[in-house]
Amino acid sequence: MKRLGIILTLIFCLVTSVFGADKSLKKVQEKGYFIVGLDDTFAPFGFRDENGELVGYDIDLAKEVAKRMGVEARFKPCEWDGILFELKSKKVDMVWNGMSITESRKKQAAFSKPYEEGRQIIFTLKGKRIDKVEELEGKIVGVQLGSTGDFAIQKSPIFSKIKEVKKYGTLIESIMDLEAGRIDAVVAAQTAGGYYNSKKQNLEMSSETVMQGDASGVAFRKEDNKLREAVDKALDDIKADGTFQNIYSKWFGK
């Protein structure tokens, strides 16, 4: 009887091993594509051009990585505040959209190696420059809901002295309200806000950092290790042969 119990235990472990194996990469290879979840208003990482086509820094990186993996990259616009739910519910295979790697997010997802560093700074209209975080006292400040800028301002010692923090679904909405004079400042990633400013040249950027930006990475379901490892390898390859730098220079300059 004891021997039968041992045999049954071994069979159970074998079945669990076979059927519980990580097939994330194999599934992508069989489909011939992976689906990227993103906020399609988050320039320059992923956004619509004048023809309605999805373009951006992360779009180019994802397409290049997919090519190296022998598959296609497809994209699914999502609401940023619920994008990790889209990942967990398997509506997308990964989130690739300048997502900062934070401790709270690491509890919900596994991340690739970091591919981008950044910092959160203060954006204001020309002539109304705010350089220091303390100068936000009594001001109306805009942030993108659920963004690192949102977290940064909440953690700031000045938070309780800010008149109001307005939260927006997208970064561009906050910048449009800034341009319209409805808010005094926006706290956002230097890269994202700086890209908007490169087009219009109507914003001031603070010299002081509100919060040192967390590194950005590609988010995966925690169990999808094989897929994550394949993306990491492709990223390493495009960094080694100079392709990564070419894509970076295209969107941010040298």
- Whether the per-residue pLDDT at 186 is higher than 90: the answer is yes
- What gap in Å lies between CA 149 and CA 134, rounded to an integer? 16
Q: Is residue 174 part of a domain?
A: yes
* Window from 42-56, 61-75, 230-244 with minimum mean pLDDT: 42-56
Question: What mean pLDDT comes out for the span 5-12?
Answer: 49
More confident site: 233 or 213: 233
Same domain flag for 124 and 206 = yes
Asked whether residue 154 is domain-assigned, the answer is: yes
- For all residues of the chain together, what is the average pLDDT? 89
In a domain, 162, yes or no: yes
- If asked whether residues 99 and 43 sit together in one domain, one would say yes
* pLDDT exceeds 70 at position 77: yes
The pLDDT assigned to 17 comes to 42
* pLDDT (mean) for 18-40: 91
Query: Do 169 and 225 share a structural domain?
Result: no
* CA-derived radius of gyration, the chain: 21
Which of 20-29, 65-74, 109-118 is predicted most confidently?
65-74
Pair 171, 248 in one domain: no
242 within some domain? yes
Shared domain check, 174 and 124: yes
Q: Which of 189, 227, 38, 217 is nearest to 115 (CA)?
A: 217
Are 90 and 126 in a shared domain? no
Residue 98 Ramachandran class (φ > 0 left, ψ -120 to 50 alpha, else beta): left
Please give the pLDDT value at position 18. Answer: 44
CATH number at residue 111: 3.40.190.10
The pLDDT value given to residue 37: 98
Q: Which range has highest mean pLDDT (92-106, 149-163, 225-239)?
A: 225-239
pLDDT of 3: 57
Cis before 157 (ω within 30):
no
Q: How many residues does the chain have?
A: 254
DSSP tag of 136: G
> How many distinct structural domains can be found in the chain?
2
Same structural domain, 71 and 134? no
Which range (3-12, 89-98, 195-204) has the least confidence? 3-12
What pLDDT score was predicted for residue 24? 97
Tell me the pLDDT band of 168, cut-offs 50, 70 and 90: very high
Contacts 24+ apart (CB under 8 A), 159-164: 161/136, 161/137, 162/136, 162/137, 162/138, 163/138, 163/139, 164/140
Specify if 11 maps to a domain: no
pTM: 0.69
Residues 124 and 238 placed together within one structural domain of the fold = no
* Res. 19: pLDDT tops 80: no
Highest mean pLDDT among 91-105, 202-216, 228-242: 228-242
Residue 175 lies in a domain: yes
Q: Are residues 227 and 171 in the same domain?
A: no
Q: Which residue blocks in the chain are alpha helix, DSSP H?
A: 2-19, 24-31, 57-69, 83-88, 103-106, 148-155, 171-179, 190-200, 225-240, 243-252
144 touches 174 (CB < 8 A) = yes
Is 9 part of any domain? no
Any residues with CB less than 8 A from the CB of 56 and at least 6 apart, and which? 42, 43, 44, 45, 46, 47, 251
pLDDT at residue 20 above 90?
Answer: no
Integer Cα distance of 127 and 112 in angstroms: 40
Q: Is residue 181 one of the residues assigned to a domain?
A: yes
User: What is the domain extent for residue 71?
Assistant: 23-115+217-252
Assess whether 52 and 164 both reside in one domain. no
- Per-residue b/e over 57-68, b at no fewer than 16 CB within 10 Å? bbbbbbbbbbeb
Q: Which residues pair with 95 in a beta bridge?
A: 37, 219
Dihedral sign of CA atoms 214, 217, 219, 222 in order: negative
Residues 189 and 228 in one domain: no
Q: Do 111 and 124 reside in the same domain of the chain?
A: no
